[in-house]
Structure 1
Amino acid sequence: MSAAHSFAMPRLPQERQAGHQAEEEPDDNAPGPPLPSGATIDLGAERESSNVDEVLDTLDSELVGLAPVKARVREIASLLLLDRVRRRFGLSANRPNLHMCFTGSPGTGKTTVAMRMAELLHRLGYLDRGHLVVVTRDDLVGQYIGHTAPKTKEVLKRAMGGVLFIDEAYYLYRAENERDYGQESIEILLQVMENQRDDLVVILAGYEDRMDTFFDSNPGMSSRIAHHLKFPDYELDELTAIAHLMVEQENYRFSPESEAALRDYLESRMRQPRFANARSVRNALERARLRHARRLFDGEPRRCGKEELMTFEPDDFLGQPRR
């Protein structure tokens, strides 16, 4: 028997095997005795008690745009909340498959959405801990025989009760190398995603075309993914709004001329290779802070007020390297 097929992770918080019930603390999400068929439930109050709107509102406030993604997250939250209400009436249904795939360019908010998804699933009682573990191939795959299984198992152990986010997941599979150890990690992941999906949600992330190729080469993985969320690239106005959020968090602001200079830079940068959406905006602002500081300290010493310490000018964005 291979290492992949011999792997078993302890279940949290209870053993979910027929004929065995482990001791556990009371579950606040347990449905209790079924309500009579003529009873009604206030869905608004049920939604309020779950605190899901707090998570959804946070997602809206911290991420600009992404309307299709946010709508899909709300749909998933509604389904899970309704399932909880249905259980109150004794209407049983299989636990939905929650494994997901996030596709899109770097800097489009995939990790942030994964973090809020983990929190959402925890509040609705679908995950015991609701934490997020972010990994890449290097965290899962070893470089020599016998190294991959322990690495993958250790990551899964840390992620149990939460969400495992595998960035650039297609690098797990290298078709050109028959002796690559990534397939061993995939086999372990497949087993856990099927047999312990009550304990763990796996999110695979990466570029859409490469993820399509990965799924074509690994149909077992594709069949275990229920939700595909596509993260679009940001438009110029959205990138500008993101920049405003970032500078406000750091107690800076734009002069009208400096905002125009930033927009010119971003419009040019969007046409260049390796543009990374919000990450490129952050990089531009970090360089602007350096130029702003140098500008204020260049020349003869002088006095400087609060407004000048806070305000970017066009020179802080002109001549920025394109990366």
Structure 2
Amino acid sequence: MSASFFHDQFVDSIDQCRQLYVDKVVECFVASPSRLGMEADEFFAVVQDRFNCLVIKAFVETAESDLVLTPAEADLAKVLVEHLLDRQVKPRHVKENFRELATLAKQTSWGAAVEPMKWFEETAAYFEEVKSALLRIATIASRVDGSVRGETTAQLKMIRMQLDQHLPVVRSHSAESKPVNDASESTDVSDHSAATNSYQISQALIKVLSEQRESKRAAPMDASALESNETSPVQESATVIAQSNASDTDAETVADLTPQQRDELLRLGMAELENLIGIDAIRREVQTLINVCKLQQFRKEHSMPVSTVSLHMVFTGNPGTGKTTVARIVAKLFGAIGVIRRGHLIETDRSGLVAEFQGQTGPKTNAKIDEAIDGVLFVDEAYSLAPENQSDSYGLEAIQTLLKRMEDDRDRLIVILAGYPKPMETLMKSNPGLSSRFSRRCHFPDYDETELAGIFDVLAQKHHYHMTDDFRSTFLKQIRTAVATKDEHFGNGRMVRNLYECAIRNMANRVVESAELTPELLSTFQAEDLSEWIEGESV
């Protein structure tokens, strides 16, 4: 097996891990920048530092498990450092500083390294994929020199156990985007030892480059910059959105996009919508809404009368039919055309609006709405605010507060209510104020067998996985059985993601035991990778 193969696979795995770790955490922060109490620059620096630490730790603890760093492993270390820095460095500068990197990485716990993934509930959906990418990094490191010792195999299993402990399988997720730790627990986003170690790792990476320079030594830089004078697009996005909370004046200054940027954002959002499976009617409805909004904007620009268009919506459908995904895209699209200034989505449910004690629900609901101002508020399982045949003054107070704010902030707030079809219909009939303000309804039907298989194909292709014929046959059989026995709680796309994550998890365990690493081994699902999947337990 050529060294270039290992290097390419190694880099691909790092990139996949970064997309699932850094990008997803930053997306949650951008949607609600005030939630963690951190400035955007500080937040991005911490997340980037922890990611660097995590990847280096996965490599070091595997490569050094047999107490010997071979030449092939040293070459891979150079690839790792160069990829984290996004530029080439001389071997001697890597060699001179890698020991410091290794020491700091080993001193940082696995829990601290993956901690940012646990700050927001939404990122729990990506735990298995992050673990899979990290195990691929470790597995490549274990096999790059062509031999695997018993100590290394044991270490791979230990890494898997550590990752499972700190990023456990999540059976169900709340719709609300919030830190996993609730108010009764301390969300320690600035653990001193972990922050110090990960910061020092970034400083050590910078040191590799600063020593390489043949010209005069550059002025000291913040570690979060990773020796780059250019701001990362993700960091820039996080900074702009976070700053937009400072004041209305500042928001209008820093959050404005050029017409070209808006066109590009609109194009990307429509492409996301187009790529979703099984929602043709929803896609047409969203496109119509966009066209109506653009028409009103054109008329306004030409001093013509404009009509008030209600953009509040009700999404009905069973779990996993794409309601939340479409809501996020809709927020992005409305932001792109300037209907709302920020274009972010705040997800919540009853627990995010209703308080436990009298007099607290109004302020709690208002606080959640404040987070969504200039964006979209998505209320999942909205029918729980007015349970059928039950007297619920707190839920009613939340509804009345929401309706009042929808009127007071009608130019700055879009609300989407979501839930099962029948309970949502009951909710709409129970309150004239709701039915009059939410006249636009979008139903998300269950996926059929072909669509569910297509969703799995999209997930697999996105991360460069392939299937054997036996795997596909077993997979389709599982899907047919699930569809034939489904009820209103059928998981739909969520069930497919659970199945996909199970296959990744089992593949990782299988690869750890393999004697030889090949491209096929790293990217091919076997039928046995579905052996432990039980739909009823996974959903």
- Separation in 2 of the partners of 1:255 and 1:92? 60
2:266 alignment counterpart? 52
Return 96-105 or 174-183, whichever deviates more.
174-183
Q: Structure 1 residues 290 and 74, CA, compared in 2 at 3 Å: closer, same or farther? A: same
Shift, 1:54, TM fit: 3.0
Find the partner of 2:348 among 111, 135, 158.
Answer: 135
Shift, 1:278, TM fit: 0.8
Query: Would you say the 8 A contact 1:194–1:224 is kept in 2?
Result: no
Find the partner of 1:222 among 435, 439, 446.
Answer: 435
Q: Secondary structure at the match of 2:288?
A: helix
Amino acid at match of 1:282: R
1:81 alignment counterpart? 294
Aligned length: 284
The within-5 A match list for 1:254-293 is 254-270=467-483, 271-273=485-487, 274-293=489-508
- Separation in 1 of the partners of 2:480 and 2:330? 32
Find the partner of 1:161 among 363, 374, 398.
Answer: 374
Q: Secondary structure at the match of 1:103?
A: strand
Shift, 1:51, TM fit: 5.3
Shift, 1:313, TM fit: 1.2
Shift, 1:110, TM fit: 0.8
- Separation in 1 of the partners of 2:383 and 2:392? 16
Query: Would you say the 8 A contact 1:50–1:124 is kept in 2?
Result: no
Q: Cα RMSD (Å) of the superposition? A: 2.5
Find the partner of 2:413 among 161, 176, 200.
Answer: 200
The within-5 A match list for 1:114-129 is 114-129=327-342
- Separation in 1 of the partners of 2:374 and 2:440? 19
Unaligned runs of 5+ in 2: 1-246
Shift, 1:100, TM fit: 0.4
1:102 alignment counterpart? 315
Kindly provide the CA deviation profile for residues 219-275 of structure 1, in whole angstroms up to 9, marking residues without a partner as x.
Answer: 211110132111111111111111011122333211122112111101111223432
TM-score normalised by L of structure 2: 0.50
Q: Structure 1 residues 285 and 49, CA, compared in 2 at 3 Å: closer, same or farther? A: closer
Q: Secondary structure at the match of 1:204?
A: strand
- Separation in 2 of the partners of 1:268 and 1:157? 45
Q: Structure 1 residues 261 and 280, CA, compared in 2 at 3 Å: closer, same or farther? A: same
Kindly provide the CA deviation profile for residues 38-80 of structure 1, in whole angstroms up to 9, marking residues without a partner as x.
Answer: xxxxxxx99x95853332112212x112100001110001111
Kindly provide the CA deviation profile for residues 132-157 of structure 1, in whole angstroms up to 9, marking residues without a partner as x.
Answer: 00000000001111121111011011
Greater relative CO (CA pairs within 8 A, separation 6+): 1
Query: Would you say the 8 A contact 2:495–2:535 is kept in 1?
Result: no
Query: Would you say the 8 A contact 1:132–1:164 is kept in 2?
Result: yes
Find the partner of 2:306 among 76, 80, 93.
Answer: 93
Q: Percent of aligned positions with the same letter in both sequences?
A: 34
Shift, 1:293, TM fit: 2.8
Amino acid at match of 1:60: E
Query: Would you say the 8 A contact 2:507–2:529 is kept in 1?
Result: yes
Q: Structure 1 residues 58 and 25, CA, compared in 2 at 3 Å: closer, same or farther? A: same
Q: Secondary structure at the match of 1:127?
A: coil
Unaligned runs of 5+ in 1: 1-11, 15-23, 30-44
1:295 alignment counterpart? 510
Shift, 1:26, TM fit: 12
Amino acid at match of 1:112: T
- Separation in 1 of the partners of 2:479 and 2:256? 49
Query: Would you say the 8 A contact 2:296–2:307 is kept in 1?
Result: no
Amino acid at match of 1:281: V
Return 260-269 or 80-89, whichever deviates more.
80-89
Find the partner of 1:231 among 444, 455, 463.
Answer: 444
Shift, 1:102, TM fit: 0.6
- Separation in 1 of the partners of 2:255 and 2:304? 19
- Separation in 2 of the partners of 1:108 and 1:126? 26
Query: Would you say the 8 A contact 2:255–2:341 is kept in 1?
Result: no
Q: Secondary structure at the match of 2:446?
A: coil
Kindly provide the CA deviation profile for residues 59-114 of structure 1, in whole angstroms up to 9, marking residues without a partner as x.
Answer: 212x1121000011100011111111122322121331110001111111111111
Query: Would you say the 8 A contact 1:13–1:128 is kept in 2?
Result: no
Q: Structure 1 residues 83 and 26, CA, compared in 2 at 3 Å: closer, same or farther? A: farther
Shift, 1:179, TM fit: 4.8
- Separation in 2 of the partners of 1:89 and 1:302? 71
- Separation in 1 of the partners of 2:269 and 2:329? 6
Return 203-212 or 171-180, whichever deviates more.
171-180
- Separation in 1 of the partners of 2:478 and 2:290? 38
Find the partner of 2:404 among 158, 180, 191.
Answer: 191
Q: Secondary structure at the match of 1:74?
A: helix
Structure 2 residue 288 is matched with structure 1 residue 64: no
Query: Would you say the 8 A contact 1:261–1:318 is kept in 2?
Result: no
Query: Would you say the 8 A contact 1:162–1:200 is kept in 2?
Result: yes
Amino acid at match of 1:55: G
Higher helix proportion (structure 1 or 2) = 2
Amino acid at match of 2:435: S
- Separation in 2 of the partners of 1:160 and 1:260? 48
Shift, 1:296, TM fit: 3.8
Query: Would you say the 8 A contact 1:127–1:162 is kept in 2?
Result: yes
Query: Would you say the 8 A contact 2:263–2:336 is kept in 1?
Result: no
